[in-house]
């Protein structure tokens, strides 16, 4: 985008109704309206363009952003860091081992104690089924209460950096990638996207990415096909949401019994491993009971079951069966690449390599998606604020 | 405070004699003069008001703040982060495990090596009796020497984020809370405050909070009652200071043999657990000798001894015996709340909940207390500098 | 430097040819031209002077710096933090344990994923012979490719914060120290510097400092004497470079069989322990094979071998044999000081103490050396940019 296009995009943003995002959290993509989703995607592009034009997006002279990572993270951690830094916020990470939380402190108390000068809180908590989203709501409610009670001088808004249900910063980055790849959101209508389970020699991968994908992509009028081996089903609530989206937005939702079937004539393929739902449930119980031998047995059993589906691999041969053999390959990364990061995995090395740079580009949207979420939660009139930043014209470097 | 009141407060601050704080450390509250204590409290309020009026307090375009946490911390860690960020300082934490200190490096050397671009150093070291304060003095002396020798281009000032003797950022936050609650420091005169031991199913809690409280609150002309079971006495040096304060400032210092006695007609109650002095001494020796079985035995013995005093709990019934049944409940947090964070603890759940929002508000003063300590150590004429920041009128957001 | 001298220095910098450093990495000092080395040293001094004159060097309104520490670090960690902060960059550390790298992610992918908003990447990886430098090149190639492919909007430049071959931020700080101590780079010509092995009761110390010293100091026309016990030789490739430097720059390279011989009439002595080359090779293999008992045996054997050379200590007596008994003692710190940090070590306590403040001052150059490396990699016309910063005259405090 050149500067004229930036201004036009801001102008168009001003027409979107997104005031409900102001002083609000981003937990699940399906809680947001069409306008709100569109506003996120558009704001992300505006911020990315401004940075590329060396226009500083710094709007905080000082301020803190809090991060809580209850699971490993590279991409999302650095994306959150980049997004916060873009606005001038300094990150303070809550390391639960170094805090007094072990002493039995309540979530409500901790949430307030870390938020006196916090503008935003980013949380990853994706390991336990039924836990991550609940924890995020508890934190959000706590700081909201703290704000109402006058304990906190501002309302820190919360961003879901992956929970057990959804991974919105990932799936919105995926959506932005698709929009840019196909030349506009209107071009997604009628495109066939295959969200397929794929084999991986690991276990316990969260369900939030496939759930987030079927919950979001069905809003763009796409034809979604979900494929996975028996027993690897997703949360039924999210499937219901995806189906409802299709009725509302004119797409379709189908199931396939194999990757082959799902890939047939697909425009986009998203082959990715996840754990069986029942295994995740069992794992959550064992983890909470600290049953280490039970966990080891479960892992062993799960890995053996996985192996039955070792042929669920995104191969060159399978890619040939997609639309003109040219489907866009997607993955949230890191992928298990056969012969590279493991013996047999989700995707053949040559397929991954052909789409590698595109995949990396897709990952590069995430800082701006997060930045957009922050921006829209902090300014009642985001278009006006963007115009201000644009007109200020302060150089980033 | 509105803008006029801020200006008036700055004007009044200019009359306080606090130039000895310039390029100096904040280690123990009783090392500071009346004017200096008053200046800290007032500066904290001015900075808080300025931030709430969206006036940026950033005075460093660049600069580092160093933190060293030798014990767990949530509140103080985030308060220090918030205070430094308020002024534009970036925090670099010294993680002693990731540094070369294990190689036998001296404290003097490390202190200088981390301070070349450091404006301020915050340290928590509260576990070992006789160690924390000594370590802080060693660091302060080292960087002071480095500054005199021309090794360091500026004198990094040190802030005690809790040592074995005092916890001044906590107790000054407590004081500010009392001042605001009772409508002025002059209203603290003659108020009865009960600093009482309370039962907790944990052991090894530092003595620095009760010591800091009796050392500070006795400066405001309050009637302080200290209560604890036999064997749970505090450092006698601090008790002596508290008694001397009473003579000087017109308060009183009394001892009670029970929480009941201490609470009688109290205006303020501060029920909080701490470890017996002798246990802390023994623990320090065992920790240094790495006598793990000895430590386990000590912990077991101490927890058993604690249990003898399980009825030292701040209950609704006890609260009824305070002044008009309306004493202000205080705690440095996190409290051991009966039925919430433990079976039996320091305070009954309904008492805590009634004062919860107030307690959180009190905790919210800490970032500004720390900020005030930094400010007064960095500017010879703090009132002039505050006026400058105020007149600059740069928006924080 | 006063302001006039700063301007003169910038003027003289503008005549140095250092455009090849633009968008380039700093991995090994001998890959850089004479002008480039001179430009680093000069820029470091200019930045240091500007900060001391309270002129802000902040040139990034926002931006990230990435650090990857695969070994312990205090000095270099804080120096990197200080350098990045000087320019307004926020540090995001890649903690490989908290990231998904354990999942088998490739170096190329991680390098790109952490770099979307990164201006600079600093890496310490000095433990494994044949690994550190290779890893740095891999990261540098990966982000360079990402930049060319359009994945990264800017080229993050890489700085070697110590690898298995060189430790350029240390040795350039050492060089700046020498230049200031002797009153100009021209005065280093013909000075005798003794780089000598010294005894330490530890094992596994990297070879990169002595290698870096012989590879760099031979460029200033110095007479270098390298001394070490048999078996403690350095990488022959670096020795060859040092010898070639002498021919080119008119110094000399000699070997001595003892510290005594090396110190004779030396102007500068650099007594420092390092591990035998063969031990480092064996250790690398054992570490990779995770052969813990093999490692313990190796450590034991190595410490025993070390002990045979316990008399390789920089004593007062030995110092007397240097040029007029006045040689400048140097060390990269922390030194193993006999009777202070160990029983018997690299240097006698009184020798170290006499040079302590000077040593600390030398360490204080490192933030500015790193800052200069960043600066010259980020601006095509560094003199022009420095002039801009100077003329802007924004106060740091």
Q: What is the pLDDT of residues C206-256, one digit of tens each?
A: 999 999 999 999 999 999 999 999 999 999 999 999 999 999 999 999 999
Predicted pLDDT at C99? 66
Does C64 contact A82 at a Cβ distance shorter than 8 Å? yes
For residue C7, is pLDDT > 90? yes
Does A116 contact B78 at a Cβ distance shorter than 8 Å? yes
d(CA A210, CA A212): 5
Predicted pLDDT at B17? 97
Q: How confident is the model at residue C375 (pLDDT cuts 50, 70, 90)?
A: very high
- Work out the minimum CA distance from A72 to partner chain C, whole angstroms: 5
d(CA B177, CA B330): 10
Q: Is A22 on the interface with B (CB under 8 A)?
A: no
The percent of residues above 70 in pLDDT, for chain C, comes to: 98
- How many cross-chain Cβ pairs, B to C, lie less than 8 Å apart? 111
Predicted pLDDT at C190? 97
- Work out the minimum CA distance from C279 to partner chain A, whole angstroms: 31
Sheet holding C90-93, edge to edge: C90-93, C64-69, C118-124, C157-160
- Work out the minimum CA distance from C92 to partner chain A, whole angstroms: 7
For residue C397, is pLDDT > 60? yes
Residue C153, classified by CB atoms within 10 Å of its CB into exposed (0-12), middle (13-18) or buried (19+), is middle
Contacts of B386 (CB under 8 A, 6+ apart): B10, B13, B43, B46, B50, B375
For residue A103, is pLDDT > 80? no
Q: Is A51 on the interface with C (CB under 8 A)?
A: yes
For range B57-81, the mean pLDDT: 95
Does A58 contact C59 at a Cβ distance shorter than 8 Å? no
Q: Pick the residue with more confidence: C103 or A216?
A: A216
Does C397 contact B60 at a Cβ distance shorter than 8 Å? yes
Does B360 contact A113 at a Cβ distance shorter than 8 Å? yes
- Work out the minimum CA distance from A245 to partner chain C, whole angstroms: 32
Q: Pick the residue with more confidence: B280 or B56?
A: B56
Q: How confident is the model at residue B204 (pLDDT cuts 50, 70, 90)?
A: confident
pLDDT in tens, B74-83: 899 999 999 9
For range C303-317, the mean pLDDT: 96
For residue C104, is pLDDT > 90? no
Among the partner residues B99, B109, B378, nearest to C333 by beta-carbon distance: B109
For residue B100, is pLDDT > 80? no
Q: Which of residues 195-214 of B touch A (CB under 8 A)?
A: 202
Does C151 contact A51 at a Cβ distance shorter than 8 Å? no
pLDDT in tens, B161-170: 999 999 999 9
Asked whether the beta carbons of C141 and C109 are under 8 A apart, the reply is: no
Q: Is B325 on the interface with C (CB under 8 A)?
A: no
Nearest by Cα to B76 from B357, B329, B370: B370
pLDDT in tens, A121-161: 999 999 888 899 999 999 999 999 999 999 999 999 999 99
For range C312-341, the mean pLDDT: 97
Among the partner residues A88, A334, A366, nearest to C109 by beta-carbon distance: A334
Q: How confident is the model at residue A101 (pLDDT cuts 50, 70, 90)?
A: low
For residue C277, is pLDDT > 90? no
For range A193-199, the mean pLDDT: 98
Among the partner residues C90, C113, C150, nearest to A74 by beta-carbon distance: C113
Mean of pLDDT over chain C = 95
Q: Is B257 on the interface with C (CB under 8 A)?
A: no
Predicted pLDDT at B260? 98
Residues in chain A closer than 8 A to C112 (CB atoms): 360, 363
Secondary structure (DSSP) of A1-35: --HHHHHHHHHHHTTS--GGGTT--B--GGGS-HH
Does A81 contact C90 at a Cβ distance shorter than 8 Å? yes
Q: How confident is the model at residue B220 (pLDDT cuts 50, 70, 90)?
A: very high
Task: Kindly report whether the global pTM for this prediction surpasses the value 0.90.
Answer: yes
pLDDT in tens, A284-309: 888 888 899 998 999 999 999 999 99
Predicted pLDDT at A179? 98
Does B85 contact A117 at a Cβ distance shorter than 8 Å? yes
d(CA A242, CA A226): 11
d(CA C362, CA C170): 9
Q: What's the 3-state SS for chain C?
A: CCHHHHHHHHHHHCCCCCHHHCCCCECCHHHCCHHHHHHHHHHHHHHHHHHHCCECCCCCCCCEEEEEECCCCCHHHHHHHHHHHHHCCEEEECCCCCCHHHHCCCHHHHHHHCCCCEEEEEEECCCCCCCHHHHHHHHHHHHHHHHHCCCCCCCCEEEECCCCCCCHHHHHHHHHHHHHHHCCHHHHCCCEEEEEECCCCCCCCCCHHHHHHHHHHHHHCCEEEEECCCCCCCCHHHHHHHHHHHHHHCCEEEEECCHHHHHCCCCEEEEECCCCHHHHHHHHHHHHCCCHHHHHHHHHHHHHHHHCCCCCCECHHHHHCCHHHCCEECCCCCCCEECCCECCCCECHHHHHHHHHHHHHHHCCHHHHHHHHHHHHHCCCHHHHHHHHHHHCCECC
Among the partner residues A357, A367, A396, nearest to C116 by beta-carbon distance: A367
Q: Is A23 on the interface with B (CB under 8 A)?
A: no
Q: Which long-range contacts (CB under 8 A, 24 or more apart) does A240-243 make?
A: A241/A30, A241/A215, A242/A214, A242/A215, A242/A218, A243/A218
Contacts of A314 (CB under 8 A, 6+ apart): A196, A198, A259, A269, A271, A329, A346, A347, A348, A351
Q: Strand pairing of C223-227 and C328-329?
A: unpaired
Does C74 contact B117 at a Cβ distance shorter than 8 Å? no
Predicted pLDDT at A288? 83
Q: Is A333 on the interface with C (CB under 8 A)?
A: yes
For residue A336, is pLDDT > 90? yes
For residue C129, is pLDDT > 90? no
Q: Strand pairing of C118-124 and C64-69?
A: parallel
ipTM: 0.95
Does C51 contact B149 at a Cβ distance shorter than 8 Å? no
For residue A377, is pLDDT > 90? yes
Residues in chain C closer than 8 A to B112 (CB atoms): 360, 363
Predicted pLDDT at A162? 98
Does C117 contact A367 at a Cβ distance shorter than 8 Å? yes
Predicted pLDDT at C103? 59
Residues in chain B closer than 8 A to A61 (CB atoms): 56, 58, 88, 394-397
pLDDT in tens, B290-307: 899 998 999 999 999 999
For residue A102, is pLDDT > 60? no
CB-CB neighbours of C243 under 10 Å: 15
Nearest by Cα to B363 from A146, C70, A315: A146
Q: Pick the residue with more confidence: B273 or A97?
A: B273
d(CA C224, CA C252): 6
The percent of residues above 70 in pLDDT, for chain A, comes to: 98
Residues in chain C closer than 8 A to B91 (CB atoms): none
Q: Which of A285-294, B206-215, C91-100 has the highest mean pLDDT?
A: B206-215
Does C64 contact A85 at a Cβ distance shorter than 8 Å? yes
Residues in chain B closer than 8 A to C394 (CB atoms): 61
Q: How confident is the model at residue B101 (pLDDT cuts 50, 70, 90)?
A: low
Q: How confident is the model at residue A222 (pLDDT cuts 50, 70, 90)?
A: very high
pLDDT in tens, A1-54: 899 999 999 999 999 999 999 999 999 999 999 999 999 999 999 999 999 999
Predicted pLDDT at B95? 87
Residues in chain B closer than 8 A to C91 (CB atoms): 90, 92
For residue A379, give the chain B residue with the closest CA.
B397
Predicted pLDDT at B99? 65
Q: Is A340 on the interface with C (CB under 8 A)?
A: yes
Predicted pLDDT at C101? 60
pLDDT in tens, C46-82: 999 999 999 999 999 999 999 999 988 889 999 999 9
Does A357 contact C149 at a Cβ distance shorter than 8 Å? yes
For range C132-141, the mean pLDDT: 96
Predicted pLDDT at B41? 98
For range C24-51, the mean pLDDT: 98
Predicted pLDDT at B97? 76
Does A109 contact B360 at a Cβ distance shorter than 8 Å? yes
For residue A104, is pLDDT > 90? no
Residues in chain B closer than 8 A to C86 (CB atoms): 62, 117
Residue C288, classified by CB atoms within 10 Å of its CB into exposed (0-12), middle (13-18) or buried (19+), is exposed
């Amino acid at each position: 985008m050149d500067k004229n296009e930036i201004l036009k995009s801001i102008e168009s943003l001003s027409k979107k109704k997104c005031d409900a995002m102001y002083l609000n959290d981003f937990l699940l993509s399906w809680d947001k309206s069409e306008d709100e989703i569109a506003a996120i995607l558009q704001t992300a592009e505006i911020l990315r363009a401004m940075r590329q034009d060396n226009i500083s997006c710094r709007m905080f002279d000082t301020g803190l952003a809090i991060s809580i990572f209850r699971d490993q993270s590279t991409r999302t951690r650095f994306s959150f860091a980049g997004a916060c830094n873009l606005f001038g916020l300094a990150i303070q990470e809550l390391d639960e081992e170094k805090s007094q939380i072990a002493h039995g402190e309540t979530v409500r108390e901790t949430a307030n104690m870390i938020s006196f000068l916090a503008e935003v809180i980013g949380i990853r908590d994706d390991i336990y089924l039924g836990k991550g989203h609940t924890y995020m709501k508890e934190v959000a409610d706590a700081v909201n209460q703290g704000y109402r009670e006058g304990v906190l001088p501002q309302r820190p808004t919360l961003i879901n950096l992956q929970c057990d249900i959804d991974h919105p910063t990932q799936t919105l980055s995926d959506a932005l990638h698709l929009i840019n790849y196909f030349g506009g959101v209107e071009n997604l209508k009628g495109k066939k996207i295959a969200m397929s389970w794929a084999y991986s020699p690991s276990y316990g991968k969260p369900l939030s990415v496939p759930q987030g994908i079927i919950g979001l992509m069905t809003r763009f009028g796409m034809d979604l096909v979900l494929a996975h081996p028996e027993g690897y089903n997703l949360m039924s609530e999210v499937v219901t949401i995806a189906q409802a989206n299709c009725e509302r937005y004119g797409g379709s939702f189908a199931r396939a019994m194999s990757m082959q079937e799902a890939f047939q004539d697909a425009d986009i393929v998203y082959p990715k491993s996840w754990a069986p739902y029942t295994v995740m449930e069992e794992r959550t119980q064992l983890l909470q009971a600290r049953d280490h031998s039970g966990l080891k047995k479960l892992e062993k059993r799960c890995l053996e079951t996985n192996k039955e589906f070792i042929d669920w691999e995104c191969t060159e041969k399978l890619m040939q069966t997609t639309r003109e053999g040219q489907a866009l390959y997607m993955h949230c990364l890191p992928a298990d690449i056969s012969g590279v990061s493991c013996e047999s995995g989700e995707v053949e090395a040559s397929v991954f390599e052909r789409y590698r740079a595109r995949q990396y580009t897709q990952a590069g949207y995430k800082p701006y998606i997060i930045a957009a979420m922050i921006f829209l939660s902090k300014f009642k009139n985001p278009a006006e604020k963007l115009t201000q930043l644009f007109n200020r014209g302060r150089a980033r470097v």
